[in-house]
Amino acid sequence: MVDELGRSLLTSLGAPTGARSHIEAYTEVVLKKGEGKHRPDGLIVVRSGGKIWSALIEAKVGNSELTNEQVEAYLEIARLNGCNALITVSNQFASLPTHHPLQVSASSRRKVELFHWSWMYVVTQSTLLLSHDDVSDREKRILLREMNRFLLHESSGVKAFEQMPASWSDVVAKVQAGGSVAANSAEAKEVVGAWHQEVGNLSLTLSRQLETAVKVRMPRAHATDAAARQKEDQKALSNTSELNTELVVPDAADVIKVCADLKKRSITASIWLKAPDEPKTTKARVNWLLRQLQKTEPAGIYVRCFWPGKTRATLHALTALRDNPELVAVDHESQSVVSFEVMMVRDAGARFGQRRNFVADLETTVPAFYNQAGQWLKAWQARAPKLRDDKTEPQEVAPKALRDELELDALSGDA
C-alpha cells in the first residue's frame, strides 16, 4: 500500500523500481512446483513494462533463526517457479542487504539471487521516510507509523542484536591470557559473523538516531563478496586481536572508525582530521581543533597527533590540551603537526568479555562519541582565492631568454 517503502526496500536489492514500475505483494502463496513441506511466507512481483521481476519471501520472528537447509530449499523452490530472488527477513543482521547472515553454498545461489533484511532494517527505512517527509499521502503516513508501532512493540517478536555468541567469552579470555585466535577456527568464524551482525545493527541504530542513512564502509571487493569480507576479518582478528569497522555518516568530517581491542578490553571510536595548511605553527593548528571541541565533555576524549615522515604519533587527553595547548608543540619542536585523530576510549574491563554487556557498551560508546565530538568536527577547507586589489589584468612578461633574444635582434637591426 505504501509504494515509497516498497521502492526504498527493493532499490537496496537492485530490483527494477523505476517510475513506471508496479509493485505487487502477496501472502498465503500456493506455488505450482516444489513446495512439499516448505511453503514461503510471501511473494513480491515487480512489473516494469513487459518485464517481470519476482522474489519469494521467508520470514522469522522472535528467537527463530534461518537455517541453511531452509534457505537452500527455498532457493530451489524459487528456481523451479521462475523467481529471480529469495528475500529472507529475520532478527539476524547483515551489513548490506546483498550480504546474508548465513554462509549458503554458491551452487544453490547460481540461478537465484539471495538477499536479507533484518526487521530493524525495515523499521529504519520506514523511519527515514517519515522523518524526511518522503511520504506525501496522509493515510500512507498513518500506515507506516502504525507498522513501526507494531514492529517495535515487545510482543511482536522483533528485536535488535543483543549479544555476542557463546564463544565470545572464551575468545576474549584466550587473548587476555596471551593467546591468539586461529584465523580458520570455528570460534573466529562465529565471532566475526556476530561482529558483522552487530555492525549492521549499529549502523541502523545511528540511522534512526540521526535521521539519515548511516552506512558501513567496506572495499568494493567485500561489498560484492560477503565471504571474502568474512575471511579477511577472521585473518585480521587472528593477527591483531582486534575487530574493526568504519561507519559513514553523511556530511561528517570523516568516517567514524570503531575498534574493539580484545587485548586491552577497550572500545574506541575516532575521526581523523587533516591539520589546516594555514596557519603553519603547531600551536595554532591545535587551537583550530580545540575551537571545534568547545562543547565537548572531555572525559574519555583523547587527541592523537601525527607528524611528518616516520616521526611517531603522540597522544594527549583533551583536558590536558585545554589547559595547555602548547603541549603538542613541545613533542617535536622542529616540526609542525600534520593531522589529528579525535577519539573516545572506553576501558570496558570485565564487561568486555560478557556477551550482552559488550554489545551494550559498544552501542552507547559510538553514539556518545558522535554526540560529544563527531558532530562538531569539520574538515579544514582552504579559503577561496581573492581578486587583486587593483582589479586589473597582470601584464604579460616575456621569459628572460626571449627578452635577451629580442634585444640582440634590435641591436643587429633585424627587428
Instruction: Return the pLDDT at 406.
Output: 59
Do 172 and 145 belong together in one domain? no
Do 105 and 176 belong together in one domain? no
Find the CATH number of the domain harbouring 71.
3.40.1350
Look up cell 635582434; give the residue. Answer: 409
The one-digit pLDDT tens for each residue of the chain (415 residues) are 899 999 999 999 989 888 889 999 999 898 888 777 788 999 999 998 889 999 999 999 999 999 999 999 999 999 999 999 999 999 999 999 999 999 898 888 889 999 999 999 999 999 999 999 899 899 999 999 999 999 999 999 999 999 999 999 999 999 999 999 999 999 999 999 999 999 999 999 999 999 999 999 999 999 989 999 999 999 999 999 999 999 999 999 999 999 999 999 999 999 999 999 988 899 999 999 999 999 999 999 999 999 998 899 999 999 999 999 999 988 788 899 999 999 999 999 999 999 999 999 999 999 999 999 999 999 998 888 888 776 666 666 566 666 666 565 655 555 4
Cβ atoms 369, 256 nearer than 8 A: yes
Do 284 and 364 belong together in one domain? yes
Look up cell 581491542; give the residue. Answer: 261
Range 374-410 burial, b when 16+ CB lie within 10 A, else e? bbbbeeeeeeeeeeeeeeeeeeeeeeeeeeeeeeeee
Contacts of 87 (CB under 8 A, 6+ apart): 13, 44, 55, 56, 57, 58, 115, 116, 117
For 71, the domain range is 3-156
Contacts of 242 (CB under 8 A, 6+ apart): 236, 259, 260, 261, 262
Q: How many domains does the chain have?
A: 2
Q: What are phi and psi of 287, to 5 degrees?
A: -65, -35
Instruction: Return the pLDDT at 385.
Output: 83
Look up cell 560484492; give the residue. Answer: 224
Give domain status of residue 384, yes or no. Answer: no
CA distance 197 to 185: 19
Q: Is the pTM of this model over 0.75?
A: yes
Give domain status of residue 147, yes or no. Answer: yes
Do 240 and 99 belong together in one domain? no
Do 246 and 119 belong together in one domain? no
Give domain status of residue 400, yes or no. Answer: no
C-alpha cell at 266: 577497550
Give domain status of residue 395, yes or no. Answer: no
